[in-house]
Structure 1
Amino acid sequence: MDQQQAQERAKNLRELLNQYSYEYHVLDKPSVPDAEYDEKLRELQDLEGEFPELITEDSPTQRVGGEPLEGFQKVQHNVPMLSLGNAFNHQELRDFARRATGGTDEPIAFVCELKIDGLAVSLTYENGKFVRGATRGDGTTGEDITSNLRTIRSIPLSIKETERLEIRGEAFMPHKSFLSLNEAKEENGEEPFANPRNAAAGSLRQLNPKIAASRNLDIFLYGVGEWEASELESHSERLERIKQLGFKTNPQWKKCETIEEVIDYVTHWEAERNNLSYEIDGIVIKVDNLDQQEELGYTAKSPRWAIAYKFPAEEVITTLTDIELNVGRTGVVTPTAILEPVRVAGTTVKRASLHNEDLIREKDIRIGDTVVVKKAGDIIPEVVRSVADKRTGKEEEYHMPDACPDCGSELVRLEEEVALRCINPNCPAQLKEGLIHFVSRNAMNIDGLGEKVIIQLFQENLIHTIADIYRLKREELLELERMGEKSVSNLLEAINVSKGNSLEKLLFGLGIRFIGSKAAKTLAEEFETMENLQNAVDEDLIAIDEIGDKMADSIVQYFSEEKVAALLDELRELEVNMTYLGRKRKTAENEEASVFAGKTVVLTGKMERYTRDEAKEQIEAQGGSVTGSVSKKTDLLIAGEDAGSKYDKAEKLGVEIWDEEKLQEALER
């Protein structure tokens, strides 16, 4: 066979095998026996072995290949993968519907989908090829797990769509795969996975794609992040179009014309959930019409046009054998119930939160009690109540101690707080928790420096403050257990890379009370340098919309501490960046307001001077908001070549339209 014949045969085999795979893994209707599929796959492998130049990215032979990765690269989501607000009863669903209609009688349709209990992922296709897969992460930044997602056979490696498409869904482990995996782990003397969700997440975070491939994962696709196909007017149309492109959608979705139909759907699946071959933990309800979605908009954390109905938590009975105390990074001492092991919502629970001393008294919880346990949000175990009529008289009332269980310092209750707190700044428990927070993903994000490693370094007296992290030496690390040459090199490199993080990462990592990651970003944008923030007074801080009195007081108090000033001086000497590296927001105070300030902008068509991401970043840096579809709320459409249906819709709605040249003039003004 010459090369031309081989090329034609390989092309035919790829098309056949991709079709067979679609029929088997997506439609669940195989048209040929497994043996025929295997025979043709071997033929394609032989051809590609003889003519390596024939190998294509979407070849079925390339689903599992390549060497294990050293780590996952970070991925920025151009359109944030927001979480959903929750509803826990039927009245809250009715309230959601009323908000969606603005309290009017305007008819509005909803789409209901099963809420798959897995790992949210994003798939990106360019020119019809699968080019990148990523985890949701924190919604803004995820991890590139393309190699592992390629092993899921229900994910097409190529589609008949030339426009860039970023599609979203939930990767999961079916019950059958989960049981087989845990049986194998137990036979090998390994700890089994607690539930299918953990198994799916753990499988997709394997650095060796061959391990991920062996786990038999699956996926349902349910949404779009970016897509030029804006002629679609509803979410239900999108689901149908996604299916036509060869993606696997969940067949149980339903369009409902009223909220009462939604409630009937919810009630049905609450009863039937255990008859599925995969785990679900609720129902997702979305407004169907895309223009109505756009008008409803978003909060900082979630869309206003969608909500997740969470099934009621399973409650079980067990015995509370003891109460232990844990000291957090802010000194708060939290009581934790030690339980006779019991299965709750798919996992074995041995510990559960009791929150604080007042709650223990209010619920009259005693050591030795029979108690009811559930998982709050199906995630965090908590003691719901004691069962008083099962008491024998041997149960013991619990009293919180006067001293910190870790350092022995006096515990105090601050004004207006229910929690007891250790106020010793050198308490070992607080120091450890502070270090763990500093290296976490939303803070300095130091790969390889997780909780176990931090505790190990602390116990070996190698670190006590965050500055010590930047003084770690190779020879010290190599002497530790489970620290080889490669892992030490990777760790030191990650520590060094973190020195270049933007100011907001460091601010959040410092653990200033009341300052979360969003407030840290706001402060970094406003003050630009750590020195400016150190010199800020209450009035400067309160003038910022997102900063309230408590936050301002906490910031001023924090930076007034001598030990904080000394720590920051150490970090400067260690070359840790103290400057905001993002673009400063344009405001009326810092310069003439941008033409984009407060405007909702849509980008469409092909541009020569900017990539879509570059244009979006610059518009948002000047106070604009870039969305994916044209609606009544759109202020401006930026149109490149081949603008398509978004241009037509903008004209119809009377939206102002610019070309790329006018965009450039505005950005450079």
Structure 2
Amino acid sequence: MSPQQTSTAQPVDASGQDLNPAEPDDALKEEYAELVDRVRAARTAYYVEDAPRISDAEYDALYRRLEELEALHPQIVANDSPTQEVGGEVSAAFAPVEHLARMYSLEDVFSTDELVAWMDKTAAAVAELPGAPAPAWLTELKIDGLAVNLLYRGGELVRAATRGDGTTGEDVTHNVRTIGSIPTVLQGEGIPEEVEVRGEVFISAKDFRALNEAIVAEGRAPFANPRNAAAGSLRQKDPEVTARRRLSMYVHGVGAATGLEAATQSEVYGLLEGWGLPVSPYTKVLASTGEVLELIEEYGRRRHDLIHEIDGIVVKIDDRRTQFRLGHTSRVPRWSVAYKYPPEEVNTTLLDILVNVGRTGRVTPFGLMEPVRVAGSTVEMATLHNQDVVRAKGVLIGDTVVLRKAGDVIPEIVGPVVALRDGSEREFVMPTHCPSCGTELRPAKEGDVDIRCPNARSCPAQLRERVFHAAGRGAFDIEALGYEAALALTAPDEPATPPLTSEAQLFDLTPEDLREVRIRREKRRKGEPTGETELVPYFWTKGTAKKPSEPTATTRKLFEELEKAKSQPLWRVLVALSVRHVGPTAARSLATAFGSMQAIRDADEQTLAGVDGVGPTIAAAVTEWFAEPWRCEIVERWAAAGVRMEDEVDASLPRTLEGVTVVVTGSLERYSRDSAKEAVLQRGGKASGSVSRRTDFLVAGENAGTKLDKAEQLGVPVLDEAGFELLLARGPEAFAGDGDDDDTPPPPGAGQDAAAETTDDEDGK
């Protein structure tokens, strides 16, 4: 059984008996909550911002650990866990588009043993279907691109949208029309009156290199990898920019289709190609597991010689009727899987091991290496986590080390090449004092592996990290306050006293306060580095005899965004405070439960711990944070500067949903997903993201999908939009004793092609 299928199931032994696992402790619950937040943040960075902050390999590890915890402890599964959803979100920069049939992710496997096990299990499932043919395996390259859904009506392209969250995507029609390989009008015979065509938009390896060379020549930062180049190009607001990026597309299936007749997926590809759509030249139908493994080995050798970058091989059952009968889990098809190639490895020299001090004081070693090209990028740094990891890996400064990097990921030092040592190598010694402020380092509590700088108030490194965190997308969302700006505010080269000695001063800053701030940068002549450095103003222009110094455009933007940040909701302010363990999930829970910063400060630890989604560990951290006067000063100074410390509550709204859990799925006419969730929360209810036995009501709009199926299986009452509004107005009592199911909407998508195609590029992110 796949991890996706087991994530919410009670573990059983070989005889099928429940193992009844013990209640997880606070540390495990804390780890789980952090994993949920990190996976969700990674998805947003990857799919919405086109700027991944962690590697595919790191994401896969986080996601698998999340699945492992949920399988071992099903009682902690969060209703909004990423394992219960198709990954991805919809950017506010483009109009939302509802897909006619849902787009799914793919289950990933990371070894040939896992792949063989999946194929054996799937073949056994097919053998149990009466009349089903033995599986033929359709194989495709896993393109490093962006999933796109093309909608044709009467043979004409009327809409193109990104995958988004699987139900709702972003309208990128104008940009897709600039891609030469995508026909605006289909040709040939047998074209359905309405059909969704799914595929991957990508940039070829050759065109990617040329694009990055052009961008660097213009003095701009290059794209990290082809996937982000394709995604960033397709999301340009100016279609002319997209047209210059030389994007391509290969289609790999259909979603909703009217009158499409094809017995196999490979026949569908033949039809698509006959209508003028671009189909991958690398697709093959194979008869056996051995042939599939041979193909994986072949493309593993050739992966850098292909038209586009790949990170794996997709394997599907070719027979479409069998696909339909096997169906889907809540987020992946049971008839398709993605095998991912192992991370790539190179050798390089470990020049030094340095340490970084984080916003909570944790001191983390990292390796500084001879720059080396691996997996499409140049790498010179890699984390080593803590002194125990350094010791466990056995690496010495000066070693030749094995560096592993999977695709576009954060690299990992695997270990030393001991045979190449010449005796000049030396051991890393963990510092005893903070490299930023000189304070003696120590564990936060007895038994901790990590050591920390206890000088939270005055350590420049911690302050820098906290200021950068406060400006992040999950907090105040101040785009102009990036990492270098945070460094310039807290530890500039000049003056000796920085503009910020506490984040309490952040909203008191004026442009004049930043006039003298200077940082050291390398001199350049005709665009080339000279090896010399100079002090230059950071927030103001240099100024000349003809044009006096003035705040830069970025500095002006910084102060505009600081002003806007004052009106952010309470939960974002809580995140910005850098309270240990308080991420977006816990912050939302606290803000919803208490409504104001003062109420949170006044609550005792037991009251805080009783809030759903908080618990004793987070409650203790919040209590400890507010016990420090200098931290309370941050709140007071921000409040005095006009930062919002209390959420607006409409007192006229009745608290009709106290203690009621509601799940909203599908598309509603008068509510977006966020506004429907907000309507539930404002009336005292809990807005969940997945259906369980604890769900009181499911609100089902168009294209409700598997949540509707699960609700019906569990006997959860199902409401349409009119029923939802009645629930908001009158609460559960409006439906007491109502056994009439007339208001239950029919399953969305009835009559559509049930074997909706997956998006081959998705890793569950």
Shift of 1:282: 2.2
**Distance in 2 of aligned mates of 1:521 and 1:132:** 34
Shift of 1:464: 4.0
Residue 322 of structure 1 aligns to a residue in which SS? strand
Give the one of 448, 457, 462 matched to 1:430: 462
Q: Relative to structure 2, which stretch is displaced further, 532-541 or 258-267?
A: 258-267
| 2:426 pairs with 1:399 | no
**2:224 touches 2:408 (CA, 8 Å); kept in 1?**
no
| 2:469 pairs with 1:447 | no
Residue 208 of structure 2 aligns to a residue in which SS? helix
Distance 1:401 1:77, change over 3 A: farther
Shift of 1:452: 2.4
Where in structure 2 are the equivalents of 1:353-368 lying within 5 Å? 353-368=383-398
Code of the aligned partner of 1:561: E
Shift of 1:379: 0.5
Code of the aligned partner of 2:505: D
Shift of 1:200: 3.8
Code of the aligned partner of 2:463: L
Q: Relative to structure 2, which stretch is displaced further, 414-423 or 324-333?
A: 414-423
Code of the aligned partner of 2:112: H
Distance 1:408 1:234, change over 3 A: farther
| 2:363 pairs with 1:337 | no
**Distance in 2 of aligned mates of 1:484 and 1:122:** 45
Code of the aligned partner of 1:518: T
Shift of 1:636: 6.6
Distance 1:266 1:408, change over 3 A: same
Shift of 1:275: 3.6
**1:407 touches 1:428 (CA, 8 Å); kept in 2?**
yes
Distance 1:349 1:548, change over 3 A: same
Q: Relative to structure 2, which stretch is displaced further, 617-626 or 431-440?
A: 617-626
Code of the aligned partner of 2:306: L
Give the one of 389, 408, 412 matched to 1:382: 412
Q: Deviations over 1:198-219 (max 9, x none)?
A: 5445545767654443221234
**2:142 touches 2:311 (CA, 8 Å); kept in 1?**
yes
Residue 397 of structure 1 aligns to a residue in which SS? coil
Give the one of 722, 726, 732 matched to 1:665: 726
Q: Which runs of 5+ in 1 are unaligned?
A: 1-70
| 2:113 pairs with 1:91 | yes
Distance 1:130 1:475, change over 3 A: farther
Who is 1:469 aligned against?
506
**Distance in 2 of aligned mates of 1:237 and 1:634:** 44
Residue 508 of structure 2 aligns to a residue in which SS? coil
- Return the TM-score normalized by structure 2: 0.60
Shift of 1:442: 2.2
Shift of 1:389: 1.6
| 2:454 pairs with 1:417 | no
**1:319 touches 1:371 (CA, 8 Å); kept in 2?**
yes
Shift of 1:309: 3.3
Distance 1:314 1:74, change over 3 A: same
Where in structure 2 are the equivalents of 1:551-562 lying within 5 Å? 551-562=618-629
**Distance in 1 of aligned mates of 2:194 and 2:292:** 34
Number of residue pairs aligned between Structure 1 and Structure 2: 576
Code of the aligned partner of 1:346: G
Distance 1:419 1:219, change over 3 A: farther
Who is 1:115 aligned against?
142
Give the one of 633, 640, 659 matched to 1:566: 633
Code of the aligned partner of 1:361: R
Shift of 1:355: 2.0
Shift of 1:177: 0.9
Where in structure 2 are the equivalents of 1:235-274 lying within 5 Å? 250=280, 252=282, 266-274=296-304
Residue 470 of structure 1 aligns to a residue in which SS? helix
Who is 2:22 aligned against?
none
Shift of 1:143: 9.0
**Distance in 1 of aligned mates of 2:512 and 2:259:** 58
Distance 1:97 1:192, change over 3 A: same
Residue 396 of structure 1 aligns to a residue in which SS? coil
Distance 1:551 1:364, change over 3 A: same
**Distance in 2 of aligned mates of 1:441 and 1:386:** 38
**1:443 touches 1:505 (CA, 8 Å); kept in 2?**
yes
**Distance in 2 of aligned mates of 1:602 and 1:321:** 54
**2:138 touches 2:284 (CA, 8 Å); kept in 1?**
yes
Where in structure 2 are the equivalents of 1:496-511 lying within 5 Å? 496-511=563-578
Code of the aligned partner of 1:435: V
Q: Relative to structure 2, which stretch is displaced further, 517-526 or 347-356?
A: 517-526
**1:412 touches 1:422 (CA, 8 Å); kept in 2?**
yes
| 2:591 pairs with 1:524 | yes
CA RMSD of superposed structures (Å): 5.5
Where in structure 2 are the equivalents of 1:198-217 lying within 5 Å? 198-200=228-230, 203=233, 210-217=240-247
Distance 1:131 1:463, change over 3 A: farther
**Distance in 2 of aligned mates of 1:443 and 1:123:** 35
Shift of 1:385: 0.9
Where in structure 2 are the equivalents of 1:25-44 lying within 5 Å? none
Code of the aligned partner of 1:443: A
**Distance in 1 of aligned mates of 2:580 and 2:308:** 41
Who is 1:282 aligned against?
312
**2:326 touches 2:334 (CA, 8 Å); kept in 1?**
no
Where in structure 2 are the equivalents of 1:594-605 lying within 5 Å? 597=661
**Distance in 1 of aligned mates of 2:305 and 2:478:** 42
**Distance in 1 of aligned mates of 2:512 and 2:267:** 57
Who is 1:538 aligned against?
605
**Distance in 2 of aligned mates of 1:521 and 1:126:** 43
Q: Relative to structure 2, which stretch is displaced further, 508-517 or 366-375?
A: 508-517
**2:504 touches 2:638 (CA, 8 Å); kept in 1?**
yes
**Distance in 2 of aligned mates of 1:238 and 1:656:** 41
Between 1 and 2, higher relative CO (CA 8 Å, sep ≥ 6) is seen in 2
- Return the TM-score normalized by structure 1: 0.68
Q: Deviations over 1:529-561 (max 9, x none)?
A: 323332333333443453344333222222322
Who is 2:489 aligned against?
457
Who is 1:14 aligned against?
none
Q: Deviations over 1:128-186 (max 9, x none)?
A: 876786796x9999999777666444567799999998x97654321121232345457
**2:662 touches 2:680 (CA, 8 Å); kept in 1?**
no
Fraction of identical pairs, as percent:
35
Shift of 1:221: 5.9
Distance 1:144 1:236, change over 3 A: same
Code of the aligned partner of 1:396: R
**1:601 touches 1:635 (CA, 8 Å); kept in 2?**
no
Residue 463 of structure 1 aligns to a residue in which SS? coil
**1:84 touches 1:307 (CA, 8 Å); kept in 2?**
yes
Shift of 1:222: 6.3
**Distance in 1 of aligned mates of 2:717 and 2:228:** 48
Distance 1:467 1:531, change over 3 A: same
Shift of 1:427: 1.0
Residue 452 of structure 2 aligns to a residue in which SS? strand
Residue 434 of structure 1 aligns to a residue in which SS? helix
Who is 1:297 aligned against?
330
Who is 1:58 aligned against?
none
Code of the aligned partner of 2:369: L
